Amino acid sequence: MSPIGTQSLNLSDFTSSGMPGISILVVKQGQSLLELNHGLADVRAGISCTAQTNYRLASVTKQFTATLILMANERNLLRLDQSIRDALPELPNLCDDVTVHHLLNHTHGLSDYESLIPENQRTALADADVLRMLMSNGASYFVPGAKFRYSNTGYALLALIAERVFSFNFPEALRLFLFEPLQMKATLAYVSGGPEITNRAYGYTVDDDEVLRTDQSMTSTVLGDGGIYSNTQDLAKWDAALYPGRLLQPDTCALAFSPSTITTRPEIGYGYGWFVQQIHGEKVLFHTGETTGFRNAYFRCPSRHLSVIVLTNRYSEEAPRVARQLMEDFW
């Protein structure tokens, strides 16, 4: 393990006694250069975080959903330029001109599903509930393709489209086409009543010295936008598979990893499941994930074969900061 990359980090939030944890992995040229695990996966039980600890990935899930859709495109099960109503005809007419491409890069303009949740909703939502809410109360912010607006709605719909074209439910499609072939044995899209999460990290919020378990919210069970659990050990396998010709064809990778739209920050674009930015003149792909009790960050520079993965089970700003610092340290 290299000593560089640790000197500039301040991990005091995770190294103090009784605090939720962090798992870090830096991979360069296929070699693990840094592995760190601090803090607790389960504060109540006193279980420490390890490389096998499974965290809820939150929006880091989006790259998996996008990859499944791109695999369907390569198999001629769908086209990226087709209307999403071809797969989901229940959607209202306002979706006629929304394409799969628009969902993938957040330019669809459809209502954020969080704004459509009924006030009397008491049970957790599923991806199918997003479809139902759009059917009954959906609206459009702008003409499809007109601009970027980050939205979880599109990725919930993409999960449903994947179910229709592959004829498997979304967790099963992920397992069959991604996780099993890549030997990601601990990774899954979690559904209550389905396979349990092994070595599970529970999510927390730290308020001064009080550690509160805040593991689930009403939207935690929407899978396409943020429902996958994984660990750094499995994500190393995922990272290796993202290089062209391993999981997706080179042309598909070029499409997914190139900015097809500009975000609200002009220096950052969005491809398919990835933000894209030039750093030191080279393309860097990244995504963060934040949800009740978790904050994660995943950065990769394909030209340097450098990737940084930071997973945490507490809601804080530390994961993106740590990941960016490590990207600089190991550049």
User: At residue 5, does pLDDT exceed 70?
Assistant: no
Residue with tokens 């750094």: 232
Q: CA neighbours within 13 Å on the CB side: how many for 88?
A: 29
| The dihedral formed by the CA atoms of 53, 58, 64 and 68, expressed in degrees to the nearest 10 | 130
95 falls within a domain: yes
R_g over Cα of the chain:
19
Q: What is the largest CA-CA distance in the chain?
A: 57
321 falls within a domain: yes
pLDDT, one tens digit per residue, over 160-187 is: 999 999 999 999 999 999 999 999 999 9
Span between the terminal Cα atoms of the chain, in Å: 16
Q: CA neighbours within 13 Å on the CB side: how many for 94?
A: 14
User: At residue 2, does pLDDT exceed 70?
Assistant: no
Distance CA 230, CA 219 (A): 18
* Number of structural domains the chain divides into: 1
Closest to 216 measured CA to CA, from 135, 118, 292 = 292
295 falls within a domain: yes
134 falls within a domain: yes
Here the CATH number for the domain that contains residue 200 is 3.40.710.10
pLDDT of residue 4: 52
- Confidence band (pLDDT; 50, 70, 90) for 7? low
Percent of the chain whose pLDDT exceeds 90: 88
For the record, the structure tokens of 6 come out as: 């640790």
pLDDT of residue 51: 98
4 falls within a domain: no
pLDDT, one tens digit per residue, over 17-27 is: 999 999 999 99
**75 alpha carbon, distance to own chain's centre:** 23
pLDDT, one tens digit per residue, over 183-232 is: 999 999 999 888 999 999 999 999 888 999 999 888 889 999 999 999 99
Amino acid in the structure at residue 177:
F
CB 34 within 8 A of CB 2: yes
pLDDT of residue 316: 84
Q: What is the mean pLDDT of residues 271-276?
A: 98
Domain extent for 175: 12-329
- Confidence band (pLDDT; 50, 70, 90) for 31? very high
Burial bucket for residue 249 (CB in 10 Å: 0-12, 13-18, 19+)? middle
pLDDT, one tens digit per residue, over 37-63 is: 999 999 999 999 999 999 999 999 999
pLDDT, one tens digit per residue, over 101-156 is: 999 999 999 999 999 998 888 888 999 999 999 999 989 999 999 999 999 999 99
Residues near 151 by beta carbon (within 8 Å), at least 6 away in sequence? 106, 108, 110, 112
5 falls within a domain: no
253 falls within a domain: yes
For the record, the structure tokens of 1 come out as: 């393990």
- Confidence band (pLDDT; 50, 70, 90) for 82? very high
234 falls within a domain: yes
For the record, the structure tokens of 242 come out as: 């993202």
DSSP run (H or E) holding 105: none
Amino acid in the structure at residue 183:
Q
pLDDT of residue 262: 96
